[in-house]
């Protein structure tokens, strides 16, 4: 009934028009207009597909003049030699934390500046720093003040200079925001505990019924939780014109990584993201989210994709089939949105986990996982030292001083990672492309595609201990009949016929295949079957 009425009304309108007044036909879109702009938007978004490098400031580069700042490491702090390795310590009752949290190696913001050229040459797009705000520990997740910078790491002038160096190298700078909890030496917390009538009293959850007399993150005495239900807390951290989130942009940062983001809640995360965008358009707010990314991606620009990490690990162990991993990624794309996933960090290790080499002592496994990390949709996160093949167990062992002697092309770990970074840089589909899983029996197979046929990439992985051969249907109509695909890691060429390809994948191997696009034929004859394909 509604459709008929609408049609009848339209007929009456047309009948009432003279020949000159009748609507002109809508012209067919030009080729340029017909092409979607979503890929151009992705190309222009520095956050999408960015190779991100995480730095634990104290452990990255030795200070140029350590003697000049030795007084900053007075007891109970401990200053270590760069050759020392971190190990589990003992409690320090007067400080309320452990000796390994008070052990320093002396790295700072100025020393990082000496390696900006190294990071640029490696192919890094984004530098992410663990917390640098004022705190007694080496990790700084126990802030005393959100508005001050820890003197061991430098000054705001040093931060601004580092940001300028990073920007000159066409990279971006992200810092860690730890807004769920503070350290118990925070002036806010001390005032709240000392006076029941303090303006800060309801900034924390205090009471005799709680362990330690207040709520601490995971019950840890040194980490009293902020009460975000108190409007003044959110105002000071987010909403005020000079809020914590806003004021750090004055020093040149390009965004925030939010610690334990899930405990802040959707509304607060959305407010932080909005405030960051107001201060710097196009900035990045990414959350530490160990949960499924759906819903969280509605409040944040991106997440640390721990669920994908877990699925990659289980796939490598043979607990998950290739077909299932492909389905999982498609489900994530559908539930969380592709653009958000393309901004989200794909990590294999970080400061809270054992290092990749310790998790996977077999180089074959590490190479397999890193190839997936650089081809699945997302932004690869590299924990400092992975290129040097550093090892280390759980915190604090995973936070060792950078091994600069092994951070060179002579190291197979470095060479492999550099190859993947370069391949990603010269292959737009791996950074901005859509994800399309292919139906398989045992293999993982997927396409990464953009609006240009020449950028298509086919990825095929085998997690078995034996070679696997399968016949794939290539679900991409712009790839012409008889196309040959070249393995970007080995140079092997595999031919397809009518969008069908039989491929053999060696054990624990990822093939990254790009079409040769009939180049030899075109150079020889001048004819290209792609002549009218965008």
DSSP secondary structure, 270-331, as one string? HHHHHHHHHHSTT-EEEE---S-STTGGGTSSEEB-HHHHHHHHHHHTTSS-HHHHHHHHHH
The residues facing 434 across adjacent strands are 449
Q: Which positions ≥6 away from 213 have C-beta within 8 Å?
A: 193, 206, 207
Over 70: is that where the pLDDT of 8 sits?
Answer: no
Over 80: is that where the pLDDT of 95 sits?
Answer: no
Upstream peptide bond of 76 is cis (omega within 30 degrees of 0): yes
Average pLDDT (18-32) is 40
pLDDT one-digit tens code per residue, 115-134: 999 999 999 999 999 999 99
The structure's pTM equals 0.92
What whole-number percentage of the chain has pLDDT above 70? 93
| CB hemisphere CA count around 262 (13 angstroms) | 12
Confidence band of 154 (pLDDT split at 50, 70, 90) = very high
Over 50: is that where the pLDDT of 29 sits?
Answer: no
Q: Which positions ≥6 away from 65 have C-beta within 8 Å?
A: none
Predicted pLDDT of residue 255: 98
Predicted pLDDT of residue 477: 93
Predicted pLDDT of residue 93: 84
Over 50: is that where the pLDDT of 17 sits?
Answer: no
Over 50: is that where the pLDDT of 6 sits?
Answer: no
Over 70: is that where the pLDDT of 10 sits?
Answer: no
Which of 259, 387, 455, 484 is catalytic? The answer is 259
Confidence band of 94 (pLDDT split at 50, 70, 90) = confident
pLDDT one-digit tens code per residue, 260-293: 999 999 999 999 999 999 999 999 999 999 999 9
Q: What does residue 357 show for φ and ψ, rounded to 5 degrees?
A: -70, -30
Average pLDDT (458-468) is 98
Upstream peptide bond of 396 is cis (omega within 30 degrees of 0): yes
Confidence band of 205 (pLDDT split at 50, 70, 90) = very high
A 10 A CB-CB count for 525 gives 9
| Residue 288 bears catalytic tag | yes
Q: In whole angstroms, how far apart are CA 408 and each of 122, 232, 328, 414, 425?
A: 10, 50, 36, 6, 20
Predicted pLDDT of residue 37: 84
Nearest to 409 by CA among 430, 431, 387: 387
Predicted pLDDT of residue 213: 95
Over 90: is that where the pLDDT of 1 sits?
Answer: no
Alpha helices in 132-261 (DSSP H): 156-168, 187-194, 231-234, 244-247
Average pLDDT (461-469) is 98
pLDDT one-digit tens code per residue, 312-359: 999 999 999 999 999 999 999 999 999 999 999 999 999 999 999 999
- Higher pLDDT pick, 33 / 42: 42
Q: What does residue 187 show for φ and ψ, rounded to 5 degrees?
A: -65, -35
Average pLDDT (74-98) is 93
Average pLDDT (127-146) is 98
Predicted pLDDT of residue 33: 43
| Mean of the per-residue pLDDT values of the chain | 93
Which of 101, 125, 165, 288 is catalytic? The answer is 288
DSSP string covering 160-181, please? HHHHHHHHHTT-EEEEEE--SB
Over 80: is that where the pLDDT of 234 sits?
Answer: yes
Least confident of 36-40, 301-305, 475-479: 36-40
């Amino acid at each position: 009934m509604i459709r008929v009425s609408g049609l009848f009304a339209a007929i009456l309108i047309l009948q009432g028009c003279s020949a000159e007044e009748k609507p002109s036909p809508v012209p067919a879109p030009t080729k340029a207009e017909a092409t979607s702009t979503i890929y151009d938007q992705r190309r222009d978004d520095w956050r999408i597909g960015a190779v991100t490098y995480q730095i634990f400031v104290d452990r990255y580069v030795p200070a140029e003049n350590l003697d000049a700042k030795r007084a900053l490491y007075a007891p109970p702090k401990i200053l270590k030699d760069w050759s020392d390795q971190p190990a589990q310590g003992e409690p320090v009752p007067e400080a309320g934390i452990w000796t390994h949290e008070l052990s320093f190696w002396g790295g700072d913001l100025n020393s990082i500046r000496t390696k900006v050229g190294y990071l640029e040459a490696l192919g890094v797009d984004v530098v992410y720093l663990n917390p640098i705000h004022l705190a007694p520990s080496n990790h700084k997740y126990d802030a005393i003040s959100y508005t001050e910078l820890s003197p061991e790491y430098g000054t705001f002038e040093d931060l601004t200079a580092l940001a300028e160096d990073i920007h000159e190298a066409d990279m971006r700078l992200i810092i860690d925001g730890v807004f769920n909890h503070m350290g118990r030496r925070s002036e806010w917390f001390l005032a709240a505990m000392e006076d029941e009538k303090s303006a800060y009293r309801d900034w924390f959850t205090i009471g005799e019924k709680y362990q330690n007399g207040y709520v601490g993150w995971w019950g840890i005495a040194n980490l009293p939780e902020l009460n975000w239900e108190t409007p003044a807390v959110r105002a000071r951290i987010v909403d005020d014109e000079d809020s914590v989130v806003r004021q750090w942009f004055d020093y040149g940062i390009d965004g925030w990584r939010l610690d334990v983001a899930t405990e802040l809640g959707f509304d607060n995360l959305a407010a932080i993201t909005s405030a960051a965008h107001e201060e710097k358009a196009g900035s990045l707010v990414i959350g530490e989210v160990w949960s499924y990314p759906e819903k969280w991606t509605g409040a944040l620009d991106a997440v640390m994709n721990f669920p994908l990490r877990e699925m990659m690990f289980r796939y490598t162990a043979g607990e998950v089939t290739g077909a299932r991993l492909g389905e999982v990624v498609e489900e994530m794309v559908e539930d969380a949105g592709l653009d958000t996933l393309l901004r989200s960090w794909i990590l294999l290790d970080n400061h809270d986990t054992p290092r990749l080499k310790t998790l996977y002592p077999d180089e074959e496994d590490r190479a397999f996982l890193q190839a997936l990390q650089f081809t699945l949709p997302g932004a690869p996160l590299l924990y400092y030292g992975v290129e040097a093949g550093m090892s280390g167990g759980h915190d604090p062992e995973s936070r060792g001083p950078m091994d600069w002697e092994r951070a060179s092309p002579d190291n197979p770990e470095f060479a492999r990672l550099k190859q993947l970074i370069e391949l990603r840089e010269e292959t737009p589909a791996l950074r901005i492309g859509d994800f399309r899983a292919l139906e398989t029996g045992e293999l993982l197979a997927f396409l990464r595609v953009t609006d240009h046929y020449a950028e298509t990439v086919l990825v095929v992985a085998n997690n078995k201990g034996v070679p696997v051969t399968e016949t794939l249907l290539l679900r991409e109509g712009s790839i012409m009949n008889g196309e040959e695909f070249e393995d970007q890691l080995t140079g092997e060429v595999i031919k397809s016929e009518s969008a069908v390809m039989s491929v053999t994948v060696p054990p624990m191997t990822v093939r990254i295949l790009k079409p040769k696009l009939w180049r030899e034929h075109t150079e020889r004859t001048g004819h290209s079957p792609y002549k009218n394909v965008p």
